[in-house]
Structure 1
């Protein structure tokens, strides 16, 4: 029961009177000697002594104890905290006894939450009320029968551990409901320090999980984070004079001054950092709880059917040593285990600087997160990336960002261990930086990640999804510096792009996107669209159609990631109209590279293929960009083969069977000795799990496939059917379009944009063959997890397709990929 009105006062005189306690409490709170955790402990000690005196003066008989519970039980009292106490007794107790203790407390103006119960009653209430049980887990003896208090603690802990399998899911559900009501502390301009996700209530939940013995939270930084939030709450209580948990805007400057913090922004940043530490610890711990409970459930089902002991797959069961844990490969050095991405047994972070990004990208693309132990090991052992980054590092970053929503928990795991600022030192200036603008939902750093998430859904709209995703991630980095953030961001992104290994042209594109990421929406909403100068302004800014489409997508991603008030159908229509007008004014060729003259090696292979009528093949390993790198080796594969129907799909299928991932490719026709066309295909491939096939075996399988003795489609289907099903991620659907007629005078150009997957090029090739068109030239690009391919096709007679037929073929291919 809780009092809302004070009963008649008791005498205030004497050392245990309310006036004496109130005076002592006021001196403690005003004194400079104690602050923070020390002051909270001192206030709890002062209150303990006072309540013990009241207990003694009340004439309590034997078999009665006064017990502190909840926050008071933990020995920490904030200036306006409730006093949560339990009068515990073994049997009937004089009804006047509690009043003799409670009245002086009320007279002192303290907020009191009190109850009177036997041990059996306390256990019954705890079994029915989870919040009451959580409070009792922190029970601490104040006065009276210490053995009775010890019995209570022992019984409550025993009950908690015995019922953990049902109470912990209930506790998790309570946390989810609180997060829904109060939001995420890390991103709120007026956060609730206790109830919001990542607040002090979550620390209590983590301690309760530890008390269950099922799991424990990562402890690094957790105590300091909880202490920081408690310190801010103390200052908030003192400055407002109220028992409030909400850090309102009007109180932040005064709270910062009370704590000796530079300003309100610095205060919020410290609060956000603490909340993120608590949130991440909670995420890790709840995943561990879910694994243990799932293992217990499985053990129960098996034990009901089997007579031999169950070995389990839990982390503490020794199952790994016995080989009982299923580990499924995700990427080189990365496997899936217990629903998380972990390092393979042979992974060597110290000699593989790309491994953190490869693990992150593989986890996100599979819809998983990275295990806590794996991130810790990566942070401890991985050496810095060389500058400029290896190509694979850049591609893995793009793949991670391209996973959309699945990127966020992986990014948070990397950031929790400092891996993000190690990869991108400029990130530190925007990390946890608040945005004092009601339009913005997120801190600067989270807004950047959210923009990349939004951009991941727009990758089918642009020819360079990699540049869109990287620009989305970097576009507001200038907010960590003085002055116009777009201008500062342009300077920063030029440096970052060079360190990432982008060439001069791509670096310039990223600089344009960052410098002008607000230009489209500002111009569309503030200038007259019918004024030719308005369109001229945009065309001068972007310069090319490619830049325009990237800027258009970035503008929308940025606005939709900001918040509901930043984007509307009206703004979208204004921007779309302006982009359409600018596109009509711009001119330029198709963005794919022109054919080049064949090398001597390519001519030799073409002549060999023309003379023998079979495939001529060469394999050349690419040189590593770093002396200690062990990432999957890139291979340049050149294949010359007499032209025939279905060739592209067949060859791509053989590569997929050998688990070779096509990163880039080009296809063109040659007639080296005047006896017939030979297709020359130049591939850049990587081994899916780091093991390259032998050239002789690859050549033999190519011959078999071309002769018809190897059914590539059936083999791929069998392998896909046998592979374990993963949840994966939701990706934008494939888009197949016909390029404008100006793209080529002698062929129809079909552009395919799709999420990369094993056998994708094989399926495209088969679809083209089924459509009855010839592929004269092709340019294949894999940018992160996105395939952007262009096929120059003709009808069987070698003529460009009619507009109607081209549209039909595009529709057929898109249906085959869907």
Structure 2
């Protein structure tokens, strides 16, 4: 059924008018049509247009001949739908409307219609037809959205042109008047069809017309544009639609049937008819076209939703707007240079992407973490700047961190990544991505194309970040594990080489690069070994241990194996497979622990500057701060064009505070609610909108000089400029003496910015007691989603539990916090096992 008019069944062979011509007797239209379809030089849009013109002339001749013979006037033959657009594929339906002014005799009209429809049926062509007055056509359109859409493409073929012209004018006026009501209905139809047919860009046997991103969606975008409410991004849209039409033409000619489904057994023939190398090349082009149309549809429907909201209407637009929306015209900051505006992440007015090549990744990460779409104009502005002034290689640390944050946003990563891909940014940032982009996977176990599978694996891995000590390496390895599928040979072997290059490009050091390469090389090792080898054989476990090399890499490989399988499809992972892999991992971990032993880590030694600050803190009796500005090297360094260097991106902040409640000296009844040094310092940084990227805490406790707590922070402004050191110190003094109520201030700030709270459904925090790490303290490890005041809450929980923090090592990897706290009891000794686990549970409760 097309979108033009209701379908009417053809005749059963009886009832042919006695004087109806028998097609083909004179070799006219049928013979000319056959010659055109067999002409290999007439292909694509030219053939479709020629076939439409030829059909126009034939049908116009039929109407003129029989209307004149019957003495009928006030009639017109109108093409609607795809035929109305002048696009006829070899087996396309003919969508026809016999229009009349209502004055003709009903029997005479019926006879005329028979003389028009029967020749079409006799040629074996599908026909959707109706006979109506203009008023009847408009009434039917008001009742049936598909009829209304078909009338938007109405084209006069023969008869009275004024009838057709008046109907077209009225149809467009009706559509524009009813668009606020009908567009939500059209969107629902598109969504329901997508749920039934799937996404064309990922299907091995796609329906070129009905699947999401297919020809139906392209037609819907034309209807939206005709409403004058919104318009689709034009870049590449018409070319994508033309490629799908060309593929459908070849499919019709190859099969001899009116089909839109590109079946596996026909793909090689269709590819050959289009002059392509093979079926994979055909599918890749088809996927690229569908991706262009899908992206245009997403952007267009968001714009429709925005316009309707601006008109204060309340349509049901299911799924048009993703995430929460700010009030109309409000700008809520998300990150440096990025704000939320009307339900989208957009660039701030002061943003300068031409001077800040990291901005595109920062904007993408902020959008994904907030569950917002990234505005098209923002992406295109960044794309232009990125093309003119790309990121330096290796990437600066901030760029790498923003990529990890984007990958860790869960399902919200996908639409933002697809938007970056649509504008060519991904392949510009990661040139090796081009070989896997839109690449089909012939294995029916796989749900996605190679590139979407890689992104989907990162999505799955984001839910497993609490299980690993380096979530950043897990997420990057997930994105790269199948990157070798764009090259000949074993994709794991090729992928290892590519992963090394990409990891180095991203700015990972040699050790981290080696881990990522190992994960990519052996991403199939655990599942293949667990399901195909004897796990009781020591040689099996030994081979895996040798390949992996360390317990940390094994931990990452285990999570990657699960994420990869879950992203492949429902048949790739099961409780049975998961159990076998877990058993293998347990055996290999025991083998590695026995070979490598455990390496205890004691407190770090203070630097000379920390010693100087400690002396000053003891002398003054209050906190001492030192700030060191950190600037990334400018992306344009050395190009000689005089462009300014980048602004500072963060600082190293050193704090020395006399510890009045040092280990072993803590009063039995400490003042309730008095903040400790760690939660006080962390809370002050949070109040000043400083994001903690890394931190170390060290307690100096010489017997004769008095204890001093040293804190070294690597921080960056969440947005805006860095705060002044004197204001930080003043607030820290107030926090330490209890006059600054940090929990209340943080709660107020959270309420003020509740609208922009992150939408990511993060895995729950995980707090564990780690053994074998230190001889002089108990190590409490916290893995959680980074958030405002997170370190403050952890510090308060430890302070409330009555333990002393002797040292701490804080890391923020993308959006994940991985923190280790070395704590002791009141006696300065490590905690007993039961007490340590109770402290861990208390911290975990504080983070929930």
Identify the TM-score tier after normalising by the shorter chain: over 0.9
Residues 762, 815 of structure 1: alpha-carbon distance in 2 compared, 3 angstrom cutoff = same
Deviation at 1:32, TM superposition (A): 2.7
Query: What does the per-residue CA deviation read over 1:71-91, in whole Å, with 9 as the maximum and x for residues that have no partner?
Result: 000000000000000000011
* CA deviation profile, 1:282-316 (whole Å, cap 9, x unmatched): 0000000011111112699xxxxxxxxxxxxx9xx
**1:30 matched residue in structure 2:** 38
1:325 alignment counterpart: 329
In structure 1, distance between residues paired with 2:22 and 2:242: 35
Matches within 5 A, 1:646-725: 646-671=676-701, 674-725=704-755
Moved more, 612-621 or 469-478: 612-621
Q: Which moved more, 1:714-723 or 1:247-256?
A: 714-723
Aligned to 1:366: 370
My pick for the range that moved more, 644-653 or 216-225, is 644-653
Q: Does 1:771 align with 2:801?
A: yes
Deviates more, 1:665-674 or 1:146-155: 665-674
- SS of the residue corresponding to residue 354 of structure 2 reads helix
CA contact (8 A) 1:178 1:195 kept: yes
Q: In structure 1, the residue corresponding to 2:312 is in which secondary structure? A: helix
In 2, the alpha carbon distance for the partners of 1:116 and 1:591 equals 86
1:339 counterpart residue number: 343
Decide whether aligned partners of structure 1 residues 333 and 539 sit closer, same or farther in structure 2, where only a CA change above 3 A counts.
same
Counterpart-to-counterpart distance in 1, 2:212 and 2:812? 39
3-state SS of 1:697 partner:
helix
State the SS of the aligned residue for 2:755. Answer: coil
The superposition leaves residues 630-649 of structure 1 with CA deviations (integer Å, 9 ceiling, x where unpaired) of: 36622011111112451100
Residue 739 in structure 1 maps to residue 747 in structure 2? no
Q: Contact 2:45/2:87 (CA < 8 Å) preserved in 1?
A: yes
Deviations 1:103-160 (A, max 9, x none): 2222222221110001111011111111111111100000001010011111111111
Q: Distance in 2 between matches of 1:66 and 1:537?
A: 77
Q: Is 2:468 aligned against 1:452?
A: no
Q: Secondary structure at 2:73's aligned position in 1?
A: coil
Q: For the residues of structure 2 that align with 1:248 and 1:634, how far apart are their CA atoms?
A: 55
Contact 1:430 1:445 in 2 (8 A): yes
- Partners of 1:414 and 1:17 in 2: how far apart? 58
Aligned mate of 1:112, from 127, 130, 133: 127
Which secondary structure state, in structure 1, belongs to the residue aligned with residue 242 of structure 2?
A: helix
**1:74 aligns to what?**
85
1:476-625 equivalences under 5 Å are: 476-587=482-593, 588=596, 595-625=603-633
Deviation string, structure 1 residues 164-222 (Cα, Å, up to 9, x no partner): 11111111111111111110000000000000000000001000000111100001100
C-alpha distance in 1 between matches for 2:78 and 2:38: 28
1:258 aligns with 2:273: yes
- Partner residue of 2:3? none
**811 and 324 in structure 1: CA distance in 2 versus 1, 3 angstrom threshold:** closer
Contact 2:408/2:462, CA 8 A, preserved across alignment? yes
Residue 219 of structure 1 aligns with which residue? Answer: 234
Distance 1:593-1:341 versus aligned 2 partners, 3 A rule: farther
In 2, are the aligned partners of 1:222 and 1:278 still within 8 Å (CA)? yes
Q: Distance in 1 between matches of 2:847 and 2:582?
A: 29
Q: What whole-Å deviation, never above 9, does each CA across 1:690-742 have from its counterpart, x for those lacking one?
A: 411111111111111112221222211222122242362211111101112x1
User: Normalized against structure 2, the TM-score is what?
Assistant: 0.92
Residue 793 of structure 2 corresponds to residue 789 of structure 1: no
- Deviation at 1:163? 0.8
3-state SS of the aligned residue for 1:158? helix
State how far apart, in whole Å, the 1-side matches of 2:81 and 2:26 are: 23
Conserved 8 A contact 2:29-2:58: yes
Which of the residues 151, 155, 170 maps onto 1:136? 151
- For normalisation by structure 1, the TM-score amounts to 0.95
Structure 1 residue 20 displacement after superposition:
2.0
SS in 1 for 2:459: helix
Whether the 8 Å contact between 1:18 and 1:107 is mirrored in structure 2 is no
Distance 1:680 1:590, change over 3 A: farther
Structure 1 residue 593 displacement after superposition: 6.8
- Cα drift, residue 13 of structure 1: 6.2
The question of 1:97 aligning with 2:97 is answered: no
Q: Give the direction of change, closer, same or farther, for the CA distance of 1:519–1:558 in structure 2 (3 Å limit).
A: same
Q: Which residue of 1 aligns with 2:352?
A: 348
Mapped pair 1:280 → 2:295: yes
* In 2, Cα distance between equivalents of 1:409 and 1:579: 34
Q: Is the 8 A contact 1:385 1:423 kept in 2?
A: yes
8 Å Cα contact 1:509/1:547 also seen in 2: yes
Deviations 1:368-391 (A, max 9, x none): 011111111111123210011000
Structure 1: stretches of 5+ with no match in the other structure = 301-313, 315-319
1:16, 1:246 → 2: CA distance? Answer: 30
Hey, what's the Cα distance between the residues in 1 that align with 2:467 and 2:809?
A: 18
Deviations 1:310-339 (A, max 9, x none): xxxx9xxxxx9xx97111100000000110
What's 1:729 paired with?
A: 760
Q: Report the more deviating stretch, 498-507 or 621-630.
A: 621-630
Of 812, 835, 839, 1:805 maps to 835
- 1:9/1:107 contact within 8 Å kept: no
Q: Which runs of 5+ in 2 are unaligned?
A: 1-6, 316-320, 638-643, 662-675
Determine the structure 1 residue equivalent to 2:384.
380
The DSSP-based 3-state class of the residue aligned with 2:346 is: strand
- Tell me the number of residue pairs that the alignment of Structure 1 and Structure 2 aligns: 797
Structure 1 residues 701 and 406 mapped into 2: Cα distance closer, same or farther (>3 Å)?
same
1:397/1:784 contact within 8 Å kept = yes
1:62 to partner: Cα distance: 2.0
Aligned CA-pair RMSD:
1.9
Mapped pair 1:291 → 2:306: yes
SS in 2 for 1:780: strand
- The equivalent of 1:414 in structure 2 is 420
Match of 2:669 in 1: none
